[in-house]
Amino acid sequence: MIFKIKLSSFSSYLLVGMMILGASCSQDSLHKEGSTSSKKSSEAEAQKIVSLNGAISETIAAAGYAHQLVGVDVTSTYPESVAKVPKVGYNRNIQAEGVLALSPTLILGNEGNLKPEVRQQFKSVSVKTVLFPKREWTLEGTEKLLRDICDQIDATDKVDPMMIEIKEKLSQVQPFETAPRVLFIYARGAGTLLAAGSGTQMQAIIEMAGGQNAVSGFEQFKPLTSESLVEANPEVILMFSGGLESLEGTSGLLEVPGVIETSAGQNEAIVTMDGPLLSNFGPRLGEAALLLNKRLHEVLPNS
């Protein structure tokens, strides 16, 4: 009987000992896992990013990682936290020295913008450089860009909330009985006037806002002539705010040959919007389309 009690006690001690050992191993495992997770988080936090495109910078900020930006190109003007980041030049004319002086660990840009020799310089010093391929100016193209960017900064969980907000705003766009003819004019003074054709983000945003491009038959941007302007006869002229300013306002635009002969000119149906908002096709795509839709309704009689 005494032997049985001792054996039972020994078994109990053995069981307790195994439990303690198991707990110790478990704690050790958790400690190691925690250390790994903490290390990964620390490495992500230490990332120093240079963004060479406004839409990329805006997406990084929308994901909550603006604090990791150490340099951006001059097209990166939104939000304010991005606008304050040191500029490294225009995205199509980047010099490696200015970027590398910021000691980045990650450089993000668009395919085709960087000169081959600049890209080689980044590669030669082993700085991770990711250039995103040309995208479609669509909702799907925007989602792909957001996912590609967030994948690089370990923020993939931020994409769905961004897309939900974009789609919610797009659902508020009010249709027109007949899609208005809208002509986008890119201006840098009276000497530089370009019309946006098919394949441009300007045509895409016009269509998302319920309108139609007033011109057809050519792709990308084409110099605007008075003859083509009159022939297109847009109901609305759309411009970047800075573009209209370069013409000295509405009065300057109305003096451009052909403008006053169009429906848009006669009704002064001119809409201006912030350039990056209108053309970035980033996290604010829904906001841009909805605002343009509202502006079109405001300037068009009986819309």
Structure tokens, 276: 């990056």
pLDDT surpasses 60 at 27: no
Distance, in Å, from the CA atom of 85 to the CA atom of 49, rounded to the nearest integer, reads 11
Q: Is residue 111 part of a domain?
A: yes
Nearest-angstrom CA–CA distance, 120 and 112: 14
Token couple for 5? 């009690």
Minimum mean pLDDT range among 20-29, 54-63, 120-129: 20-29
State how many domains the chain has: 2
Q: Is the pLDDT of residue 235 over 80?
A: yes
Residues 122 and 231 grouped into a single domain: no
pLDDT tens readout for residues 255-266: 999 999 999 999
Please report the beta strands in the chain, taking only residues with DSSP state E, as ranges in sequence order. Answer: 49-51, 69-72, 106-110, 128-132, 181-187, 193-196, 212-213, 221-223, 236-240, 270-273
Residue 298: count other Cβ atoms within 10 Å of its Cβ: 10
* CA 60 and chain centroid, separation: 8
Residues 203, 286, single domain; the answer is yes
194, 294: one domain: yes
Residues 295 and 198 in one domain: yes
Convert the pLDDT of each residue in 138-172 to its tens digit. 999 999 999 999 999 999 999 999 999 999 999 99
Q: Identify whether residues 95 and 140 lie together within a single domain.
A: yes
Listed in sequence order, the residues at least 6 apart from 56 whose beta carbon sits closer than 8 Å to its beta carbon are: 76, 108, 109, 110, 132, 145, 149, 282
Please indicate, yes or no, whether residues 137 and 186 belong to a single structural domain of this protein. no
CATH assignment at residue 86: 3.40.50.1980
| Domain identity same for 154 and 196 | no
> Could you tell me the residue range of the domain that residue 190 belongs to?
181-299
Model confidence pLDDT, tens digit, residues 245-254: 999 999 999 9
Whether pTM > 0.75 for this model: the answer is yes
Percent of the chain with pLDDT over 90: 80
Q: What is the pLDDT of residues 87-108, one digit of tens each?
A: 999 988 999 999 999 999 999 9
Shared-domain flag, residues 153 and 234: no
